[in-house]
Amino acid sequence: MRPARRMRSFKKVKTVLPSGKNVIHFRKKKVGKHKCPCGAKLNRPAMRAVKLGKLPKVQRRSNRPLANLCPKCMKEQLRKRVR
Ligand SMILES: [Zn+2]
């Protein structure tokens, strides 16, 4: 195995070549969807951090305070902080 592919950030896919040879192909693992602590999915693109950095900041996360929470939790948090 190539040293650069020894980490677990690569997914191993066993494939059979047309010649009948069994080989291991390496794929980048899929990135999970962003979630609020309450479990709701956030409307953010799910891609590797390197790719995400190339997007404009507006497309990386929602453009409101507490963007790491879903709108419901944000409302609750804001109320808690005011009180
Ligand atoms: Zn939430």
Gap from CA of 39 to ligand 1 centroid (Å): 6
Q: What is the pLDDT of residues 23-76, one digit of tens each?
A: 999 988 888 888 999 988 888 888 888 888 899 988 888 888 898 899 999 999
Query: What is the total count of domains within the chain?
Result: 2
Q: Where are the beta strands (DSSP E) in 1-83?
A: 10-16, 22-28
pLDDT at 51: 86
pLDDT (0 to 100) of residue 16: 95
pLDDT digit string (tens) for 3-36?
A: 888 878 788 999 999 999 999 999 888 888 889 9
Domain residues for the domain of 20 are 1-29
* Mean pLDDT of the residues in the chain: 88
Same domain, 17 and 57: no
In the predicted structure, residue 77 carries a pLDDT above the cut 90: yes
Regarding whether 2 and 39 lie in a shared domain, the answer is no
Q: Using the mean position of ligand 1's atoms as its centre, give its distance from the Cα of residue 62 in Å.
A: 14
What spacing in Å lies between the alpha carbon of 28 and ligand 1's midpoint? 29
Residue 1 shares a structural domain with residue 22: yes
Residue of 1, 66, 41, 21 whose CA lies nearest to 12: 1
CA of 51 to the centre of ligand 1 (A): 26
**Do 52 and 25 sit in the same domain of this protein?**
no
Is the pLDDT at 79 greater than 90? The verdict is: yes
* Same structural domain, 38 and 78: yes
Q: Same domain, yes or no, for 10 and 38? A: no
